[in-house]
């Protein structure tokens, strides 16, 4: 999970650009259309009939392997596909990417010849798997699972668009054979000093150097895990996002065989009672749920839009967001590291339905968890893991509470074994109520609540009363911190009324403000994230007017009244 780097031992080329696209055929078939990568095929090729296409398609490109890659291991790295992929190089199947929204590497050393062309073909499917942790669904399933009122076109379970494509950059990388595979960092603080633990998967002697603003602050070398002692460390926080530079080298005999660089933020995060403590100080999470979503590029990495979105977060005075409902691009986490934005990193687990859960589902959940922790654990901005969004226990006659409990024991247990430095949470939805079996396992109880919208519609005061009583009940029952991971209301930009009228800008702003008054003053509440930062695309449904309009900004990033209210309140 080492990001592409350039130094004396590593190099890469970016294969982003215009790729060929076709639905039928094989890896060597001629494309019928062209597609920008990173990007989704849906809106780019809408006029060709692919807006609602769910299925498999081929994306192809060709590049000359740099002659300088000779004598090194050559790897294709895919930042993310929507949702699964098979990879072919020069006509040979060389690997697959089974986990949506996460990077994967494919070794092409045997088929890539430096100085010659490499043909890359990727068969991508944006169809969700029945055993996936975001369960797939067909039209027949809507009736079988009594979800007829939730039927979307194209068929999908989550309330966001099932985009297909290569959604993050594709790199051709050169690296040493038997080099550094992974670097794991852990920071601990005691008695005014910090200990930076560095553990790398590599065979040989390691050396590590930590610098701050060009000055060396600590060094260590040896076999196995290393510890760097830092006197009077500058701590990472939203107000002072200090990043140290770490260089790890692999030595054999007297030679340096490999080198990896990355940034390090020294900070602590933990739960005590009903508080969330960052560097031993209470912190309240003000922010948003979000989506990687933009017109035309779809879910594809859109760097100008990323910069804009972080600017909107800062403009509102927010300090955090949740990667709802999947891991976001590493570029976003790196930005959050540099600019001091707190991130709740969520797995791509949406609407897990315990009427459909199998052993394969659990296996996929654990695999996604391990891959995401491996990718994101070194980011100081990532302060919490969210293991699921809105798991479902519908159909009581089919719901086995013991089965659900053992399932969550396995997931939460594995998460703690992988990383015991961050709290664990998830997002409970209204229909699961206060009896969700995951509450007992979580460190932070996460709630998605739409009082005054889906419940008590048009009645802001009544919705607020429901929230107060529910927060008090859950706080008394569990004695844990509570985070509101979603709340809000749809608003049509430009729609107004002089009274409480749903879908108006006034209603959205008034509901959010009334509920923030509750959350920000409740002794057990440690955060409130509005759903959503911006309007975002969904599949077609009678509840959605082209897009989900719960954003406080429109999809083209213009503010509604609620955004101005938040700026005054939080800034």
Please name which of 238, 378, 421 lies closest in space to residue 320, comparing C-alpha atoms.
238
223 annotated active-site:
no
Query: Which one from 43, 128, 486, 506 is the annotated catalytic residue?
Result: 486
CA separation, residue 500 to residues 451, 456, 497, 503, 504 (Å): 14, 12, 7, 10, 8
Alpha helices (H) along 247-329: 303-316
- Sign, CA torsion 467/468/471/476: negative
**Are 566 and 317 a contacting pair, CB within 8 Å?**
yes
H or E element that contains 374: helix 359-376
- 147 and 353 Cβ atoms separated by less than 8 Å: no
Q: What is the residue-wise DSSP string for 98-153?
A: -STTS-EEEE-TTT--TTSEEEEEEEEE-PPPTTSSS----HHHHHHTT-GGG--B
- Provide the token pair at 376: 């994101």
Residues 281, 269: Cα–Cα separation, whole Å:
9
Nearest to 113 by CA among 94, 89, 95: 89
Residue 138: burial class (beta carbons within 10 Å; 0-12, 13-18, 19+): exposed
Check residue 430 and report its DSSP letter: G
Render 31-98 in DSSP notation, one character per residue: PSEEEEESEEHHHHTGGGT-TT--SEEEEEEEEEPPGGGTTSEEEEEES-EESEEEEEETTEEEEEE-
Whether 486 is catalytic is: yes
Catalytic residue among 390, 396, 397, 506: 390
Q: What backbone phi and psi angles, to 5 degrees, belong to 415?
A: -60, -45
Rounded Cα gap, residues 270 and 72, in angstroms: 42
**Percentages (nearest 5) of helix, strand, coil residues in the chain:** 25, 35, 40
Q: How far is CA 25 from the centre of its chain?
A: 33
Of 95, 96, 97, 91, the residue nearest 111 (C-alpha): 91
Query: Annotated catalytic sites, by residue?
Result: 390, 486
């Amino acid at each position: 999970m080492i990001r592409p780097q350039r130094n004396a031992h590593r190099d890469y080329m970016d294969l982003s650009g215009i790729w060929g696209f076709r639905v039928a055929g094989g890896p060597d078939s001629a494309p019928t259309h062209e597609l920008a990568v990173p990007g989704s095929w849906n809106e780019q090729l809408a006029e060709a009939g692919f807006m609602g296409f769910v299925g498999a398609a081929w994306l192809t490109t060709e590049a000359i392997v740099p002659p300088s890659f000779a004598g090194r291991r050559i790897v294709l790295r895919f930042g993310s596909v929507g949702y699964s992929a098979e990879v072919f190089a020069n006509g040979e199947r060389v690997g697959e990417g089974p986990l949506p929204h996460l990077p994967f590497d494919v070794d092409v050393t045997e088929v890539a010849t430096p100085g010659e062309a490499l043909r890359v073909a990727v068969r991508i499917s944006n169809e969700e798997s029945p055993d996936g942790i975001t369960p797939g669904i067909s039209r027949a399933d809507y009736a079988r699972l009594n979800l007829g009122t939730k039927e979307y076109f194209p068929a999908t379970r989550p309330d966001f668009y099932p985009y297909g494509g290569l959604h993050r950059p594709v790199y051709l990388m050169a690296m040493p054979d038997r080099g550094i595979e992974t670097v794991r960092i852990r920071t601990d603080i005691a008695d005014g000093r910090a200990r930076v633990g560095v553990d790398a998967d590599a065979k040989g002697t390691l050396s590590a150097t930590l610098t701050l603003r060009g000055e060396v602050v600590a060094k260590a070398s040896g076999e196995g895990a290393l510890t760097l002692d830092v006197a009077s460390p500058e701590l990472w926080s939203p107000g002072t996002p200090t990043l140290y530079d770490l260089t790890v080298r692999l030595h054999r005999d007297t030679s340096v065989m490999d080198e990896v660089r990355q940034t390090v933020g020294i900070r602590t995060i933990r739960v005590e009672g009903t508080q969330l403590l960052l560097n031993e100080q209470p912190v309240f999470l003000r922010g948003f749920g979000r989506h990687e979503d933009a017109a035309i590029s779809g879910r594809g990495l859109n760097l100008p839009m990323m910069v804009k979105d972080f600017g909107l977060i800062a403009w509102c005075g927010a300090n955090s967001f949740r990667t709802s409902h999947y891991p976001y691009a590493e570029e976003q986490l790196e930005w959050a590291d540099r600019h001091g934005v707190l991130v709740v990193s969520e797995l791509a687990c949406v609407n897990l339905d315990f009427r459909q859960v199998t052993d394969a589902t659990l296996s996929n959940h654990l695999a996604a968890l391990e891959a995401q922790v491996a990718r994101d654990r070194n980011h100081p901005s990532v302060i919490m893991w969210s293991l699921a969004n809105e798991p479902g226990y519908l159909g009581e006659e089919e719901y086995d509470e013991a089965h659900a409990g053992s399932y969550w024991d396995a997931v939460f247990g594995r998460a703690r074994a992988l990383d015991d430095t961050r709290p664990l949470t998830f997002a409970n939805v209204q229909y699961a109520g206060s009896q969700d079996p995951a509450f007992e396992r979580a460190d932070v109880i996460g709630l998605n609540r739409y009082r005054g919208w889906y419940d008590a519609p048009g009645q802001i005061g009544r919705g607020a009363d429901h929230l107060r009583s529910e927060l008090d009940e859950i706080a008394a029952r569990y004695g844990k911190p509570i985070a509101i991971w979603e709340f809000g209301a749809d608003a049509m930009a430009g729609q107004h009324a002089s009274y409480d009228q749903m879908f108006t800008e006034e209603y959205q702003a008034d509901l959010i403000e009334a509920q923030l008054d509750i959350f920000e003053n409740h002794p057990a509440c440690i955060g409130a994230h509005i759903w959503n930062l911006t309007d975002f695309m969904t599949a077609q449904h009678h509840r959605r007017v082209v897009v989900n309009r719960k954003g406080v900004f429109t999809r083209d990033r213009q503010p509604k009244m609620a955004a101005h209210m938040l700026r005054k309140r939080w800034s």
